[in-house]
Amino acid sequence: MERPAWAPPGIDISVPSVSRIYDYYLGGSHNFEVDRQTARRAMEFMPGLPKIMQANRAFMRRAVRHAVAEGVTQFLDIGSGIPTFGNVHEIARAATPQARVVYVDHDPVAVAHSRAVLTGDEHTDIVAADLRRPKEILAAPEVGRLLDLGRPVALLLVAVLHFLEDTDDPYAAVAELRDALAPGSLLILTHASYEGIPLPEEVAGGTVSVYRDIRNPLVMRTGEQIRGFFDGFELLEPGLVSMPDWRPDRAEDGADAESPEDPYAFSGFGGVGRKA
């Protein structure tokens, strides 16, 4: 079995991982055969999955630019994934040299690759931690060193909350993070949903079963349930919408922009809220 030099020691490369599957959908090179096989199985049910991922990344970039335009230059990106093209620190840094970013992921490959990409960058770092344990994230030395929690922070929970099951109490995790943030902080969030998917629920459900098989259940929530994550935040216009509908800016997103005519791009939800 292939074992590239970048694979951190100790990881089992025969077990698929959510971050490497996502890397494959986005055309990245940090994935193994087992990840590609899983991604292809999921795409048998939903061939448009890569379009959803591209729409997700394009939303994230627009939301980060919006944060900087609001004067928010500190970012806490939880479930940040394997760095590919157009990462948060690159987008934010292009908008302001003052940008500071702390990435958080629980996947060793995402952490190792982020660390490699960020070597020598004094304003950005990566923490190996779990969204289900927000206290550990908030207490991380990297957070203390790079972020001033007395000033607004943009908290990114982009395509990650749907990997937390209800028994993980994702609403409590988000509330704990919210309570640690200063007024004016932003919550930038996307989440998978059966709403908007251009397929019958039983067909899209095939993709959900693929993630269940790899013991990383994908929890599809309704728009109403996803809106619940914004408790204590005021949703900015246009509210919680399909990702391509959130302040579209095709000029900025350039060649990587989602194609609005592709119905898959309109699956799931994205939104930005501001803490009062």
Contact positions toward ligand SAM, by CB under 6 A? 18-19, 22, 56-57, 60, 78-81, 105-107, 110, 130-132, 158-160, 163
Q: Which is nearer to ligand SAM, 183 or 219 (CB)?
A: 219
Question: At closest approach, how far in Å is the CB of 230 from ligand SAM?
Answer: 18
Question: At closest approach, how far in Å is the CB of 116 from ligand SAM?
Answer: 15
What lies within 8 Å, CB to CB, of 119 at 6+ separation is none
Question: At closest approach, how far in Å is the CB of 59 from ligand SAM?
Answer: 9
Q: Which is nearer to ligand SAM, 4 or 150 (CB)?
A: 4
Question: At closest approach, how far in Å is the CB of 20 from ligand SAM?
Answer: 8
Is the distance from CB of 74 to CB of 149 less than 8 angstroms? no
Question: At closest approach, how far in Å is the CB of 132 from ligand SAM?
Answer: 5
Secondary structure in 3-state letters for the chain: CCCCCCCCCCCCCCCCCHHHHHHHHCCCCCCCHHHHHHHHHHHHHCCCHHHHHHHHHHHHHHHHHHHHHCCCCEEEEECCCCCCCCCHHHHHHHHCCCCEEEEEECCHHHHHHHHHHHCCCCCEEEEECCCCCHHHHHCCHHHHHHCCCCCCCEEEEECCHHHCCHHHCHHHHHHHHHHHCCCCCEEEEEECCCCCCCCCHHHHHHHHHHHHHCCCCCCCCCHHHHHHHHCCEEECCCCCECHHHCCCCHHHHHHHCCCCCCHHHHCCEEEEEEEC
Question: At closest approach, how far in Å is the CB of 264 from ligand SAM?
Answer: 15
Question: At closest approach, how far in Å is the CB of 102 from ligand SAM?
Answer: 13
Question: At closest approach, how far in Å is the CB of 164 from ligand SAM?
Answer: 6
Q: Which is nearer to ligand SAM, 81 or 150 (CB)?
A: 81
Is the distance from CB of 35 to CB of 14 less than 8 angstroms? no
Q: Which is nearer to ligand SAM, 30 or 274 (CB)?
A: 30
Q: Which is nearer to ligand SAM, 55 or 202 (CB)?
A: 55
Q: What are the tokens at 243?
A: 């990702």
Q: Which is nearer to ligand SAM, 163 or 230 (CB)?
A: 163
- Cα separation, 192 vs 48, in Å, equals 13
Q: How far is CA 2 from the centre of its chain?
A: 28
Q: Which is nearer to ligand SAM, 131 or 138 (CB)?
A: 131
Q: Which is nearer to ligand SAM, 80 or 193 (CB)?
A: 80
